Amino acid sequence: MNLIVHKTSIFTGQVTAPSSKSQSVRGLLFALLASGKSTLTNVLASDDTQHAIQVCKDLGATITQAEGKIIVESRGIPLPSTAQLINTGNSGITTRFIMPILGLRYHPQQPIILDCNEQMRSRPIRSLATALTALGMTCAYQGQAGSCPIAVSGELQGGIAEVEGITSQYLSALLIALPCAPQDSEIRVHDLHERPYVELTLSWLQEQGIYFEHQRLGKMDIYKIRGKHRYQPFQKTIMGDFSSASYLLAAASLFEGSVTLQGLDMSDSQGDKQLIDILQKMGADIRVNRNDIIVHGGKPLQGIAIDANEIPDLLPTLAVLGVHASGETRIYNVPQARIKETDRIHSMTEGLRRLGAKVEEFKDGLTVSNSQLRGAVVEGYDDHRTVMALALAGMQAEGETVITQGEAINKTFPTFVSLMCSLGAKMELINVAQ
């Protein structure tokens, strides 16, 4: 499908942010590992969470959905799964988080194939697989070494392992599963990126009463996790997602009007809430209240330098803001943006250049200069964040902007088009004739 976007003049109204994908998937997997009935409210409805739900079912959980709640009933560990194949679609978080959990099954010596869609097959898992081997499991690649599909067997026993820090998902995957291992564990992480996402995981461990220690030595982080824990069932409401809300906040700042955004919790560990501070530094008029965030848009923005190491998912949004800001906006120290659903540094450079922006690409980021945009056909790279960020650019461009593979928004933000249009955007998804 193509996402067709026309220039926006007024962006105003009240809207509730979509719920957090990161918290939704964590909630489902903690509920899977807990023995008993857990209730999650306000879980995000998206492709990624649907894959996480299916994985939980494949591993023995019973899941019912009613009245805005998801009820997960599980026998806990060892997981009573007899599945021979699990497919996680294009969900990187589900793929990586589930790998160590596969070592907590009743019959872990029976291999289970973990597969995914083509896009996820191109994303790396080698460092996590190597760590799992040190922790008692066996990982056998079924295709290209270092990526899915992979046959996983063996018990997650615990012990000492090292993992790369280029994506926080490797570490979070281990932190979720290792408390349930029979032995204590020590995980050493080199050059850890995306620390706020690790804090999200640790907050779940704290709520479960899990004992862990953290030590930081130069560029190495050491996590010690006590084993033999059993997760307890829980009830939790998933709060709004600052990553998805970034498009709403950015648009509200770029265009004339006043937008009230509800459903976000500033005390949540999500790193992407940093966007509010970044926008304020650039000159946006944003007021954060107890129950909402109010943005008075259309104020002049000034380009700044942004270290995006902790907030890689914001890189596409920040790049579009740089087009509107005076001077230059430099986004740096975010090399991991190249190993997301697509190489986002490259996808945003190419897309914005096609729309007429002045962009300089670097190994770890990019620099965007104030530019006048004109509509064009741009590649969405089947990446939800590239598509939504380029839609923001299209809202600024003269003429019509066509973004290919617009259906990628369903991965995390299926209601993106309807919410944006409710506030004044002019965009629509259309089927492309075969």
Burial 273-306 (b: 16+ CB within 10 A, else e): bbbbebbeebebebeeeeeebebbbbeebebbeb
- 333 SS3 class: coil
Alpha helix (H) residue ranges in 59-218: 92-101, 118-121, 126-134, 168-177, 195-207
Q: What is the DSSP code (8-state) at residue 320?
A: H
Distance CA 209, CA 231 (A): 9
Q: Which of 47, 48, 241, 313 is catalytic?
A: 313
The pair of structure tokens assigned to 428 is: 């629509």
- Residue 352 zone, left/alpha/beta (φ > 0; ψ -120 to 50; rest): alpha
Rg (CA), the chain: 21
- 180 SS3 class: helix
Question: Is 307 noted as a catalytic residue in this protein?
Answer: no
Adjacent-strand bridge partners of 212: 225
Distance CA 104, CA 81 (A): 10
Active site residues: 313
